[in-house]
């Protein structure tokens, strides 16, 4: 479905204006103005087909988050083909914004709310390990060539996976699984989290690792983050964080390779997916665990 078809289905012949929104590395997202009101309209891409994730369950998760005032409210016109929400007049925070102690503290407060969501009403278990497995299945099915050292990266991920399975106390939270800066908006001094399509019950350390990996936190900032969330930054917490930053890096590379093979046209960015995958693998080779 394209933007014109979605608008016609929702608003019919009513006059509507729309423009692409920045970001949207997977789905095409637009700001739509109709009858003086603004909306965010996301056209769902094909990623969830490869991941085997339900759009209906994503909508339930987002509705739950909206009721907790940490996400935009979902509107009734939403279908599996597109997501219609209220439009949050907000800005995406910069790297420096996220490194401020007060922003780290507020981000951790919101993350605790997310991890406290009762996932039984949503019924979806999904972690970055599951995601990476699905990415690799998709890469193979699309015959996308990947660097030879991806095999070594995946073996290391397998070791980390085994280690995490022994740490069961952190593996039962409802996770956003895409808790990166471009999915966190500052609207009127409040933070909102968007793009819940990957959410599901899993290991909370994936979410904890997301901001350090996405925004190149210093060791001091990582400790402050863990202290805000866990009340302490013990050596085992820091080791878990490093493990998850590594898994996030490998998943990021695989994400780029998968989307290069899917060949979807984007209206929100000009990212060269394959080049991005190569750039991330080079950073992993160098031991750099942030993008």
CATH code assigned at 12: 3.90.1200.10
- Tell me if 231 is assigned to some domain: yes
Exposure letters 7-40 (e unless 16+ CB within 10 A, then b):
beebeeeeebebeebebbbbbbbbebebeeeebb
Q: Specify the DSSP class assigned to residue 214.
A: H
- Tell me if 97 is assigned to some domain: yes
Whether the Cβ atoms of residue 221 and residue 212 lie closer than 8 Å to each other: yes
- Tell me if 185 is assigned to some domain: yes
Give the pLDDT band of residue 17 (cuts 50, 70, 90): very high
Q: For the chain, give the mean pLDDT.
A: 92
Q: What percent of the chain has pLDDT over 90?
A: 75
Whether the Cβ atoms of residue 211 and residue 245 lie closer than 8 Å to each other: no
Of the two residues 255 and 269, the one the predictor is more confident about is: 255
Residue 267, pLDDT score = 58
Tokens of 197: 């399509």
Whether the Cβ atoms of residue 198 and residue 248 lie closer than 8 Å to each other: no
pLDDT in tens, 266-276: 655 678 999 99
- Tell me if 291 is assigned to some domain: no
Q: Rounded to an integer, what distance in angstroms lies between the CA atom of residue 270 and that of residue 266?
A: 7
Give the pLDDT band of residue 90 (cuts 50, 70, 90): confident
- Tell me if 290 is assigned to some domain: no
What average pLDDT does range 6-31 have in this prediction? Answer: 87
Give the pLDDT band of residue 11 (cuts 50, 70, 90): very high
Q: Count of domains in the chain?
A: 1
Residue 102, pLDDT score = 96
Q: Rounded to an integer, what distance in angstroms lies between the CA atom of residue 157 and that of residue 155?
A: 5
pLDDT in tens, 92-127: 888 999 999 999 999 999 999 999 999 888 888 888
* Distances in whole angstroms, Cα of residue 222 to Cα of each of 226, 240, 252: 6, 12, 20
- Tell me if 102 is assigned to some domain: yes
Whether the Cβ atoms of residue 113 and residue 176 lie closer than 8 Å to each other: no
Segment of 39-48, 155-164, 183-192 carrying the highest mean pLDDT: 155-164
Residue 128, pLDDT score = 87
State yes or no: pLDDT of 24 exceeds 60.
no
Of the two residues 165 and 278, the one the predictor is more confident about is: 278
Q: Rounded to an integer, what distance in angstroms lies between the CA atom of residue 61 and that of residue 118?
A: 10
Name 243's Cβ contacts closer than 8 Å, sequence gap at least 6. 160, 163, 164, 205
pLDDT in tens, 32-82: 999 999 999 999 877 777 788 888 999 999 999 999 999 999 999 999 999
Name 197's Cβ contacts closer than 8 Å, sequence gap at least 6. 26, 27, 44, 47, 48, 53, 55, 58, 178
* pTM score over 0.75: yes
Q: Specify the DSSP class assigned to residue 25.
A: S
Of the two residues 267 and 8, the one the predictor is more confident about is: 8
Domain interval for residue 11: 3-285
Give the pLDDT band of residue 23 (cuts 50, 70, 90): low
């Amino acid at each position: 479905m394209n933007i014109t078809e979605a608008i016609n289905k929702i608003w019919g012949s009513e006059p509507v204006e729309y423009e692409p929104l920045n970001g949207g590395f997977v789905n095409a997202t637009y700001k739509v103005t109709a009858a003086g009101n603004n909306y965010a309209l996301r056209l769902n891409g094909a990623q969830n087909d490869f991941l085997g994730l339900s759009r209906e369950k994503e909508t339930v998760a987002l509705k739950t988050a909206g009721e907790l005032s940490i996400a935009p409210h979902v509107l009734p016109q939403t279908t599996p083909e597109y997501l219609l929400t209220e439009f949050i007049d907000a800005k995406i925070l910069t790297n420096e914004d996220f490194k401020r102690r007060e922003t780290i503290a507020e981000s951790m407060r919101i993350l605790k709310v997310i991890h406290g969501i009762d996932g039984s009403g949503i019924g979806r278990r999904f972690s970055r390990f599951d995601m990476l497995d699905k990415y690799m299945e998709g890469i193979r099915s699309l015959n996308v060539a990947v660097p030879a050292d991806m095999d070594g990266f995946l073996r290391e991920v397998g070791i980390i996976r085994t280690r995490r399975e022994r740490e069961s106390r952190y593996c039962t939270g409802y996770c956003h699984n895409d808790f990166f800066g471009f999915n966190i908006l500052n609207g009127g001094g409040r933070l909102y989290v968007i793009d819940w399509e990957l959410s599901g019950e899993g290991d909370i350390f994936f979410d904890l690792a997301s901001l350090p990996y996405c925004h190149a936190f210093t060791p001091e900032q990582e400790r402050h983050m863990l202290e805000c969330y866990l009340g302490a930054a013990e050596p085992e917490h820091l080791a878990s964080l490093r493990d998850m930053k590594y898994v996030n890096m490998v998943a990021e590379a695989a994400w780029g390779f998968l989307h290069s093979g899917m060949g979807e046209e984007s209206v929100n960015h000009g990212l060269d997916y394959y080049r991005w995958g190569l750039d991330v693998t080079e950073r992993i080779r160098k031991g750099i665990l942030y993008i």
